[in-house]
């Protein structure tokens, strides 16, 4: 069974005001098939954690490690991490003009599998996955994320999750900006991927709302660049009632 382990991860980013330390010693261990919710207030470093695991060049790892089955991930290129089985559903998926979604999906599938998927079964799989996410067929003819609404972009991320079949998925605020119907549809997609591929999930969210549809095995409260408290699903209920105030340094609460 695969394990994704984050150990004492420290990450900074260069800003105009100088180096900013964001992650201050993160520890997490996710086994395949487990669902971990990471919950924290805005600005606590959740996206930084997601990007750092995926290898975004803006984020500088000061120390610590991220391993997949004992193999260091932090020294791998971004694409090698994806090929090793790590998937990041982005909070703000970027538009790529002129690249058709259908071509993009097939290109990604081909590099991940090491060979092109047989055309007919692939097209069928794509069209079924799109149906499951209530995406119209015409989307595959459109350019990647171009002119997509916020909700459509999120569905497209989950479509990729279902089609590309990673071992571990980091979902960065996939729930934000979705109305209830869209939230349900997207959650069902995540649950399908989880069930079908024994997916390990790192579900990053600000709100407890999505946890009604995706049931976490573990909840981590993320504050000021580190995990402040951990527990089971009951921890999410406490957050629902009490908010994050209890975890915040009184000095930093304006």
Partner 1 sequence: MSLLTPEQHGAKAHSDGGWDSNEGRVVPVQTRSGRFTSVNRDDFPEVTGLELEWKLTPVALVRTLIDGTLDGAPYEYTAADAAGATIGWVDRSDARVGRAGVPEERASANAWGAFQKALAITVTAEEHVDVIVSRSGLGAEPRAAHTIITAKPNSSATIILQSSGQATLSENVEIVVEDGASLTVVSVQEWADDALHLASHFATVGQNAKLKHVVVSLSGTVVRINPSVHLDGEGADGDLYGLYFADAGQHFEQRVYLHHVARNTKGRVNYKGALQGKGAHTVWVGDVLIGRDAAGTDSYEQNRNLVLSEGARADSIPNLEIETGEILGAGHASATGRFDDEQLFYLQARGISEEEARRLVVIGFLSEIVQRIGNTELETRLHKAIEKELERTAP
Ligand X SMILES: Nc1ncnc2c1ncn2[C@@H]1O[C@H](COP(=O)(O)OP(=O)(O)O)[C@@H](O)[C@H]1O
Q: Which residues bind partner 1 (CB under 8 A)?
A: 54-58, 77-79, 81-83, 87-88, 90, 93-99, 104, 107-108, 111-112, 143-144, 160, 164
Question: Binder to Mg ion among 47, 52, 187, 205 (CB under 5 A)?
Answer: 47
In terms of Cβ atoms closer than 10 Å to its own Cβ (0-12, 13-18, 19+), residue 204 is: buried
CB of 63 to Mg ion, least distance (A): 22
Using CB under 6 A, count the residues that bind ligand X: 13
Q: Which does 208 bind (CB under 5 to 8 A by kind): Mg ion, partner 1, ligand X, none?
A: none
Q: Mask of contacts with ligand X, 49-78, x by CB under 6 A?
A: ---------x--------------------
Question: Which region, judged by CB under 6 A, interacts with ligand X, from 35-43, 149-157, 181-189, 245-253?
Answer: 35-43
Would you count residue 205 as binding Mg ion (CB under 5 A)?
no
Question: Binder to ligand X among 8, 25, 43, 72 (CB under 6 A)?
Answer: 43
Question: 144 vs 214, which CB is nearer to partner 1?
Answer: 144
| Partners of 218 in the β-ladder | 36
CB of 197 to ligand X, least distance (A): 26
The residues, ordered by sequence, that sit 6+ positions from 184 with a Cβ below 8 Å of its Cβ are 213
Q: CA nearest 46: which of 30, 64, 59, 29?
A: 59
The residues, ordered by sequence, that sit 6+ positions from 219 with a Cβ below 8 Å of its Cβ are 36, 37, 39, 230, 231, 232, 233, 235, 236, 239
Would you count residue 20 as binding ligand X (CB under 6 A)?
yes
Structure tokens given for 195: 């069930």
Q: Are 206 and 41 in contact (CB under 8 A)?
A: yes
Q: Are 193 and 202 in contact (CB under 8 A)?
A: no
Laid out side by side, the sheet with 200-205 consists of 86-89, 168-172, 200-205, 35-39, 218-223, 226-231
Question: Which region, judged by CB under 6 A, interacts with ligand X, from 40-48, 126-134, 175-183, 195-203?
Answer: 40-48
Which residues form the interface with ligand X (CB under 6 A)?
Answer: 13, 15, 20, 22, 40, 42-48, 58
């Amino acid at each position: 069974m695969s394990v994704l382990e984050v150990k004492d991860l420290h990450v900074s980013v260069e800003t105009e005001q100088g180096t900013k330390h964001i992650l201050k010693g993160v520890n997490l261990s996710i086994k395949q098939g487990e669902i971990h919710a990471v919950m924290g207030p805005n600005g606590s470093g959740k996206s930084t954690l997601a990007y750092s695991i995926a290898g975004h060049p803006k984020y500088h790892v000061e120390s610590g490690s991220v391993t997949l089955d004992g193999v260091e991930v932090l020294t791998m290129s971004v694409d090698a991490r994806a090929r090793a089985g790590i998937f990041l559903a982005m909070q703000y998926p970027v538009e790529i003009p002129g690249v058709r979604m259908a071509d993009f999906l097939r290109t990604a599938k081909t590099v991940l599998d090491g060979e092109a998927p047989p055309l007919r079964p692939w097209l069928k799989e794509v069209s079924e996955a799109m149906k499951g996410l209530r995406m119209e067929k015409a989307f595959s003819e459109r350019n990647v994320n171009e002119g997509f609404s916020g909700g459509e972009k999120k569905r497209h991320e989950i479509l990729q999750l279902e089609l590309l079949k990673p071992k571990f998925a980091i979902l960065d605020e996939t729930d934000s900006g979705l109305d209830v119907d869209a939230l349900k549809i997207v959650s069902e997609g995540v649950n399908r991927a989880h069930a079908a591929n024994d997916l390990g999930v790192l579900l990053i969210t600000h709100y407890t709302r999505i946890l009604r549809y995706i049931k976490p095995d573990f909840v981590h409260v993320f504050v000021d660049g580190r995990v402040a408290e951990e527990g089971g699903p009951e921890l999410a209920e406490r957050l629902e009632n009490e908010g994050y105030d209890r975890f915040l340094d009184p000095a930093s609460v304006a």
